[in-house]
A and B are shown apart, each in its own frame.
Chain A
Amino acid sequence: MSDREKTFVDDIDRELYDFRFDSTDSYRLESGLTEEIVRQLSKEKNDPGWMLELRLKALDIYNKTKMVEWGPDISGLDMDKIDTYVRSNTTMKGKWSEVPEEIKETFERLGIPQAERESLAGVGAQYDSELVYHNIREDVKKLGVVYTDLESAMHGEYEQMIKDHFMKLVPPTDHKFAALHGAVWSGGSFVYVPKGVKVEIPLQSYFRLNAPGAGQFEHTLIILDEGADLHFIEGCSAPKYNVANLHAGCVELFVGKNAKLRYSTIENWSKNMYNLNTKRAICDEGGKIEWVSGSFGSHVSYLYPMSILNGKGSSCEFTGITFAGKGQNLDTGLKVVHNAPETSSVVSTRSISKSGGISTFRSAVTIMPAAKKSRSTVSCQSLMVDDISRSDTIPAMDIRTPDADVGHEATIGRISDDAVFYMMSRGISEEDARAMIVSGFAENVSKELPLEYAVEMNNLIRLEMKGSIG
């Protein structure tokens, strides 16, 4: 049996996202990570005393915590060369017309103001280390929904609520980069949805990292009260530089009794980015968390949204796709802990590897003794587009009660020659056929996203798949 011939498909420029503006006017703290830098940052942000204390403790934990011995190599990340705080010469605005021209143009090109006008209840736009724009529709505000930058909220009537929740779900001791985040976090949003309130249209935060050699450490804190309902969308991008950038954000989601939160992310960082993000949700009785996750960017990613099902009948759904192309090592997945009776989790993920990219699906499903009559199903499918890439599946299940039902399945394979041939016989080029098959493979995620984001995701897939054929 002879080996098959391959079709070589180039990657093309990501011009839509790969634009940048001069950042020399920005204010920056000196590179590196020292107590002095953390104190200076805290002073810049006018932190209350408890926050400074948290930062310093987190720095101490960071210095004492070893790096993990699994996962992609991050030896190319030198914290001494990362600027942990970069701020443009502007304050946060409530109208796009007041945002400085270059920054406004950035977000215009990314389609954020247009999306806000057409289909969002509120937007937070972060540029490097600070929010530059934040707005919420009046009708949503009147429902009692709070959507504001975290730092303002910390100095106002929500200070105690924030203090009670901030880094309680993801403590600095969780891992080394959670500790780093605790020390140098800046920017991000606070959302509170009152009891029984359903926010019909999504809120969105968009994170843009413009400065070379900078880090972004935004913190998103969302609290849904009993019976509340919200869809929150997160997007991100950055221009590509020859130096490393770092993203070590943190997302903490508290889903109250019978509340429902959908958290959608299209991650499109540039391919010099180290994306070491931490996301975690905890659900009370009857609460539901839905994760929709598309990972397309970054040089290296460690990303495992975690759901703690802590109340009877709480549930989690996770739908995700990861596309690892040339020069990328994306280690993504999820963790679920069932810690109460009658909880359920349903996971459906896809991963694609191409042009030497490395994609790893990593998961942990834990069923504690208290999780009687709980159910979990995990389905993971991996597609390899060529034989210079890599795809690994590393799931783990830890089951500690007989009264649970757990199923797991995974497959790995390649694009079917038969499917490509069939489409070509209908007049479609081989390049288009392969792109369509991969888009279809990602359909589990695209159908969960609002149309505009599904279109963006499919465009990203086409960007990765199409090019000259040799």
Chain B
Amino acid sequence: MQMDNGMITVNNLPAPTWEKLKVNRAAVSVCTDYKEASMVCKAGDDPAVTDDAGTIESFSAIKTGMGDEVSSLFGRLQSEGKVSPRLLTASGKTVLKIEGKGAESLAGRLLIDVPEGKKATVIMDISGAAGVLQTLVRSGKDSDLELIQVIRSSEDKDLLNDIGSEGSEGSAFKLVQVFMPEKSIYAGCKALLSGRGSRYEAYIGYDLDGSDVLDMNYHAVHTGKDTESMMNASGALSGRSEKTFRGTIDFIRGAKRAVGNETEDVLILDEGVINKTVPLILCEEEDVEGNHGASIGMPDEETLFYLMSRGISREEALAVLRRSKISNAVMNISDEEYRNEIMGLIYDRD
């Protein structure tokens, strides 16, 4: 692990481009004093600490969106006894609460094993957290996992939120992430679709204000035949916030009849915002279909006019549009109760 003055490199763009654009990677600081994150289970089975070397090793081989330096950091923390990976054998619904306090830096590693044929929902409610969290997912044959993360970071320090997954034949992995940072969040997810017919969907919503920073790297790697991926990011930027979204659809030779789609929809509301969008398609297989689209800009004046003609102020109309962007991800949460809870949180922010 390269650690230069407490800095590591994360969110590496799978195919780098001009350095002047400053999108090839992000440099983040890491501390030497992490406290283990507690994962309080509010529903379902507790993820138990595992010290099974074979299990840890097999999960550790899963590549993640933020990159090898984060995995190496966890390797070091584990060997120093500062972090113990927790294994969750997912079945039914599990709700985990991870809460940070003040300026403490947390480190937590969750291994999710979805057995063959099982359907599961895992909700991770992350609030006030700073530090580094990593979730590694291994989906068994014909399994179906919905992983929901609602992330409100600490005001004091950065949060690194890293995910890696591997999908077996016929498995489905749906990721829904809602980012409401208070400072800076660095996030990434790499989904390896190696099993024939495996699927990956990612719905990412964000609402940034002030001097919030959200730096993301999402990578769908198709190696199996008949695999599908869909990545959709939608959000709003206000104040002097800064957002970088890297989304890569990667078709490896042999991934015949794979289909990958990616879209990003960004609403920019204020001067001083910086938005960077880098949607990649990498392809070495002929028999595939890949599409991406991005739409970035200000609120549509006709839509604003329509809303205001219904008697609401321009400010409230802008707030409606802003909330609608982050809600695009929330609408994909299948659990109705939790979905309503998150919508409530979004409204409460105004």
Q: Which residues of A contact B (CB under 8 A)?
A: 1, 3-4, 68-70, 360, 362, 364, 369, 382, 384-387, 389-414
Contact = CB atoms under 8 A, between A and B. Distances in A.
7 contacts: A3-B287, A69-B19, A70-B18, A393-B282, A395-B278, A397-B277, A402-B269
Contacts of A369: 271
Given A398-B274, A405-B297, 6 more contacts: A4-B287, A385-B286, A401-B271, A407-B296, A412-B291, A413-B288
B274 to A, nearest CB: 6
Nearest to B243: A399
Given A69-B16, A393-B280, A395-B279, A364 B298 contact: no
B289 interface: yes
Contacts of A68: 18-19
B296 A397 contact: yes
A393 B286 CA distance: 14
Which of A68, A70, A384, A396 is the most central at the interface, judged by chain B CB atoms within 10 Å of its CB?
Answer: A396
B17 A402 contact: no
B268 A402 contact: yes
A3 B16 contact: no
Nearest to A4: B287
Interface of B: 15-19, 21, 23-24, 225-226, 251, 253, 256-257, 266, 268-271, 273-298
Contacts of A406: 294-297
A15 to B, nearest CB: 29
A453 to B, nearest CB: 30
Nearest to A406: B296
A384 B251 CA distance: 12
B82 to A, nearest CB: 34
Given A69-B16, A364-B17, A396-B21, A404 B274 contact: no
Contacts of B269: 402
Contact of B292 (A3, A399, A410): A410
Contacts of A403: 298
B290 A412 contact: yes
A70 B286 contact: no
Contacts of A4: 287
Nearest to A405: B297
A396 B287 contact: no
A384 B279 CA distance: 19
B165 to A, nearest CB: 23
Nearest to B196: A1
A78 to B, nearest CB: 24
Contact of A391 (B23, B268, B279, B283): B283
Which of A406, A412, A413 is the most central at the interface, judged by chain B CB atoms within 10 Å of its CB?
Answer: A412
Given A412-B281, A414-B286, A399 B275 contact: yes
A396 B284 contact: no
A413 B290 contact: yes
B295 A411 contact: no
Given A387-B253, A411-B291, A412-B290, A398 B21 contact: yes
